[in-house]
Amino acid sequence: MTLQLLHFQLLSAALFCIGLYGVLARRSAVLVLMSIELMLNAVNVYVVAVAAFRGFESSTGQVIAVFVITIAAAEVGLALAIVMRLFRSRGTVNMDEIDVMRG
Amino acid sequence: MKSRPVQLLIALVMAGALAGLLALFALALALLGDPGDAVTPLTAGRLALALLALLTLVTMLGVSLVWLERKQLGRMQGRVGPTRVGPFGLLQPIADAIKLVTKEDVSPGASSKAIFYAAPILVFVPSFVVWLTIPLSRDLVVRNLDLGVFFFIAVSVLGIVGLILAGWSSNSKYAILGGFRSAAQLVSYEIPLILGALSVVMLAGSMRFTDVVDAQASVPYIALAPLAFAVFFIAGLAEVGRTPFDIYFAESEVVGGPFVEYSGAHWAVFFLAEYVNTFVVAALGALLFLGGWTWPFGDLGQAAAVALFLGKTYLLAVVIFWVRATFPRLRIDQLMMVGWKALIPLGFVSVIAVAVQRFYEWPVWTLTLMSLAALGAAVAVQLRAQRSGAVATAKRYAQRAVAVEPSRRRERTQA
Amino acid sequence: MLLFFAAAAVTLFAAFGVVTSRNIVHAALFLLAAMGAVAGVFVLLYAEFLALVQLLIYGGAVIIVILFALMLTRASEHLGESDTRRRPFAALAAAALFGVMAAAFVADSAWFNSTTRVSVPFRTLAEDLFVVWAVPFEIASLVLLVALVGAVVIGRAGREEDETFPETGEPDGDEPARTPRSRRGERRRRGA
């Protein structure tokens, strides 16, 4: 069976949904961030797959993926700085216990 | 303490995991050729065979570096190196390897046994995988990737994660501290390494190693961009963890750093990875800057080309060991300052210089002039900072001696 | 092809490991494996540069930052509380979304079933990135700068109040060294 776009689309959808499950079900803030990274990777796979299967040379997919990777790296850095600050002031990174904007 | 057969079993499993990982990589790389290539069992088998040959070759070369370093350091420190094991101590590394492998396998109350055993593999695999793209001569390369230089950079970054995990899973304060320091140092010095390599790639116009070497057929890049060579070399020293940047695993500093809880065969893996990394940096310096296997006076045969390339690599390795024998260790904050305040600006200057020269189509000797000017400026700034720093420190101490204990000084001068 | 199924299997298995692992450092390692497998998928799509960029940035920077954050927030000690209360609903939501997307993709694949993958030469990609997409490129670099400065500021702002070191200059003699040692020790005792 030769590879079709469908295979990559299904892979991307599965990865995205696993990431979604991680975001919804896990309590530690760092784990939520890791699940968000999974979702961003899923989007990257989808975009690059669509660009590759187009039938003509299209670099738009890869360029978009490069930007997504860049922004994801920046976002992870900033989000983890916030998480560490939260840990310093609350003593926990459990998202269920950080539900009041105080302190 | 586990019994001997169990230790052997663990060693076998590790070796098997390693071989499996490398085989997977080889199979994956089979697709990085032309899109039209099919992954037939023949090509996969041939690739695996080439990989195995490369592995043994690289291991032997790394082991020879161990011997070279000890001999050279010994001579430079006024003593003879190892002489007992074999003629001229040539079998010393083998004796070391046998000793390390037969040592007892101690694993402390590690926070996670899986990570503790997996970390050496994670450190060790990238240094070998890089050899997939490094050409020993124009035709002796496992896979001449279009993105060869970038492949080296991307893969060497994965070794950093292994060091952090090694430090963390050892569950010991020194190890965690060493792991953090090593990660900070390695990540900081990635940037000047990339910038130095980038200058060369811009000069050659391609990331293929063979193209870069062919472009140096007349003039090696060290003459064109000495600044890039200096930046790349110093950053490469820091990436490998060689003095003067070896604070994160020096025995007198953090008691061995992230490796402190590893014994026997696991530590041998780290040890081997470090020497193979040194060899990789030397080989890359030879390829990117010294002209690889080319010789400005005509084309040589295959064997002579390989010999020339290895000779240049060993020359750079000798220089690396020479630096180790000469300079004292940098403190971690000094190391960071050198990386961020000196090497990264110089790296950017090097890239800008190459870009300017290429854009305005100046002759190449202007690049040499610009690089040497930048190097001279950097050295001048450093010397002035040192001198003024020394003067200011001396002045401060003199003032402090006067201000803090004025009464006692008066007594002493009166008495 | 066989390689695609291998890469996809590793990706999904590792992703599953990320979201269901008890030990958070294991989850970080599973994330590393997932990133590597996605890089393999990129190689299959003939995007080699993107695969190496993925390995370099995710495997070499993002994972390291996550590991640092894990170790500095001592997250491994806090995990282990079961969150079974929300798991069924989350699983239901994820499965529902996957069902919808899969149905849409399968319905589309009836008419969009090309099997040829086109590879983009590296030079074209580079030209597009710097010529066609130059403005987003500059904006991305600005975003990185902002994130860097922001992370430094946020990470530092919490430190000034609870760790006051005595001045390491010459001892002046007129001002006694007022390190609020009691507060520092108390803070540490509370946080440990």
pLDDT in tens, A12-65: 999 999 999 988 888 888 889 999 999 999 999 999 998 888 877 778 889 999
| C-chain residues near A27 (CB < 8 A) | 81, 83
CB contact under 8 A, A45 and C38: yes
Task: Suggest the residue from C48, C123, C172 to mutate for an interface test with chain B (most B CBs closer than 10 A).
Answer: C48
Q: Do B235 and B187 touch, CB atoms closer than 8 A?
A: no
Using a CB-CB cut-off of 8 Å, the residues of chain C touching A20 are: 90, 93-94, 97
Q: CA-CA distance, B387 to B344, in Å (whole number)?
A: 23
Q: What are phi and psi of B245, to 5 degrees?
A: -115, 25
Asked if C140 contacts A70 with a C-beta cutoff of 8 angstroms, the reply is yes
Which residues on C lie below 8 Å from A73 (Cβ)?
A: 57-58, 61-62, 144
Determine B/A contact with 3+ CB pairs under 8 A as the test: no
Exposed, middle or buried: residue B395 (CB in 10 Å: 0-12, 13-18, 19+)? exposed
Does C touch A (3+ CB pairs < 8 Å)? yes
Q: Which fold has domain C1-77?
A: Four Helix Bundle (Hemerythrin (Met), subunit A) (1.20.120)
d(CA B159, CA B273): 10
pLDDT band, residue C178 (cuts 50/70/90):
very low
Residue B112 has its nearest CB partner, among C25, C55, C59, at C25
Q: Which residues of chain B fall short of a pLDDT of 50?
A: 1, 31-39, 415
Per-residue pLDDT reduced to its tens digit, C20-38:
888 788 888 899 999 999 9
In chain C, what residues touch A87 (CB-CB under 8 Å)?
72-73
Answer whether B35 sits within 8 Å of C60, measured CB to CB.
no
- Does ipTM exceed 0.90? no
Q: What's at C64, amino acid-wise?
A: I
Please indicate if any CB of chain A lies within 8 Å of the CB of C120.
yes
Domains and CATH numbers, chain A: 7-90 (1.10.287.3510)
Q: Which amino acid is at C19?
A: V
Residues of A in contact with C121 (CB under 8 A): 57
CB contact under 8 A, B28 and C171: no
Which residues are registered as beta bridge partners of A94?
A: A28
State the smallest CA–CA distance between residue B152 and chain C in angstroms: 10
Angle at B236 between CA B380 and CA B55, to 5 degrees: 160
- Cβ distance of B39 and C52 shorter than 8 Å: no
Pair A31, C27: CB distance under 8 Å: yes
Higher pLDDT among residues C119 and C134, named by residue: C134
Of C31, C91, C105, the CB nearest to A21: C91
Q: pLDDT (tens digit, 9 = 90+) per residue, C58-91?
A: 988 899 999 888 887 766 555 555 556 677 888 8
pTM: 0.81
Nearest CB among A15, A69, A82 relative to C15 is that of: A15
Burial letters C149-169, b for 16+ CB under 10 A, else e: eebeebbeebeeeeeeeeeee
Q: Which of C52, C59, C68 sits opposite B147 (nearest CB)?
A: C52
Of C75, C102, C191, which is closest to A10 when you measure between CB atoms? C102
3-state helix, strand, coil split of chain C in percent (to 5) is: 70, 0, 30
| C93/A contact by beta carbon, under 8 A | yes
